[in-house]
């Protein structure tokens, strides 16, 4: 497995690759959710490329960025075991040589909803870094989790709108046996809070309405950012012990995005 800390080395290597390239962008602190994307990527392509980059432009709170878990050595061992060919670990200065002076704007129709509404600048940061990464990797396919659904549909829209030559492959959410969606942020929870956090999925799947689901969460001491339904799915974001968790589930067999 090649690990590229500078883009120059990767660009040279990329010119030498002739087969199909699959790409999984991540912010590291890897878990089985990420590995499910990697496994699919490896199966469907000749070369599997993963990036690990904690993207500063998508964090609207400095404290959240600072405490975001970083576990590079373990991540690399997991990717090596997972049969990944190339890992890009670029620096922020190489990714943003002119600071964050140019950025993309999401569709206003989604910009007022959920993550975009509660984390100003989040979708701009995601779109901007993903466009940069797509131009760096030149992948045939790129793999994104449904766990971050608003991010997924925003990237799909960006690819359509700007005619980007990459196929986006959505991948289902991987959960703990308790139902808790796997997330890097779960590492920041104590063992007791992790048990408690499974209540998020229970409320999402058992609340008869969004108001019911919110009520269940509040009764269980979650601080709720939102419970909303769009595109045949129910979405939630809530804080537990100061850690912000998100999840979503289909509410009908027809997805409508
Ligand atoms: P992140 O490192 O959180 O930016 O996530 C990188 C990619 O992994 C994104 O496409 C996420 O949607 C995806 N991902 C994160 N958690 C899960 C999960 N539990 N199941 C499936 N995909 C996930």
**What are the structure tokens assigned to 197, written together?**
């956090």
Closest Cα to atom 7 of ligand 1: 26
pLDDT tens track for 180-193: 999 999 999 999 99
Per-residue pLDDT of the chain (257 residues), as tens digits, is 999 999 999 999 999 999 999 999 999 999 999 999 999 999 999 999 999 999 999 999 999 999 999 999 999 999 999 999 999 999 999 999 999 999 999 999 999 999 999 999 999 999 999 999 999 999 999 999 999 999 999 999 999 999 999 999 999 999 999 999 999 999 999 999 999 999 999 999 999 999 999 999 999 999 999 999 999 999 999 999 999 999 999 997 556 66
C-alpha of residue 144 to centroid of ligand 1, in Å: 7
125 lines ligand 1 (CB under 6 A): no
**Catalytic site positions:** 34
Query: Which of 148, 178, 201 should be mutated for ligand 1, with most atoms under 8 A from CB?
Result: 148
Q: Indicate which atom in ligand 1 lies nearest the CA of residue 145.
A: 12
Q: Which positions ≥6 away from 22 have C-beta within 8 Å?
A: 41, 42, 44, 45, 47, 48, 49, 139, 140, 141, 142, 143
pLDDT at res. 254 = 58
pTM for this model (two decimals): 0.97
Query: Rounded to the nearest 10 degrees, what angle do helices 191-206 and 210-219 cross at?
Result: 160
pLDDT at res. 160 = 98
186 lines ligand 1 (CB under 6 A): no
């Amino acid at each position: 497995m090649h690990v590229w800390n500078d883009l120059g080395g990767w660009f040279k290597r990329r010119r030498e690759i002739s087969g199909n390239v699959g790409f999984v962008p991540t912010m590291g602190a890897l878990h089985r959710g990420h590995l499910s994307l990697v496994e699919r990527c490896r199966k469907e392509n000749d070369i599997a490329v993963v990036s690990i980059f904690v993207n500063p432009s998508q964090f609207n709170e400095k404290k959240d960025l600072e405490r975001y878990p970083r576990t590079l050595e373990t991540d690399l061992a997991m990717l090596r075991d997972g049969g990944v060919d190339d890992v890009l670990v670029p620096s922020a200065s190489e990714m943003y040589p002119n600071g964050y002076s140019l950025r993309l704007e999401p569709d206003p129709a989604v910009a007022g909803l959920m993550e975009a509404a509660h984390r100003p600048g989040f979708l701009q940061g995601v779109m901007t870094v993903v466009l940069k990464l797509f131009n760096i990797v030149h992948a045939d396919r790129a793999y994104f989790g449904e766990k971050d659904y608003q991010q997924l549909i925003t990237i799909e829209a960006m690819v359509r709108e700007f005619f980007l030559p990459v196929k986006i492959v959505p991948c289902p959410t991987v959960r703990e046996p308790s139902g808790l969606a796997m997330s890097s942020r779960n590492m920041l929870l104590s063992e007791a809070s992790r048990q408690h956090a499974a209540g998020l999925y229970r409320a999402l799947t058992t609340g008869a309405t969004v108001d019911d689901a919110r009520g269940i969460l509040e009764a269980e001491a979650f601080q709720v950012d939102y419970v909303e339904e769009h595109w045949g799915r129910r979405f939630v974001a809530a804080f537990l012990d100061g850690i912000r968790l998100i999840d979503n589930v289909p509410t009908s067999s027809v997805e409508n995005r």
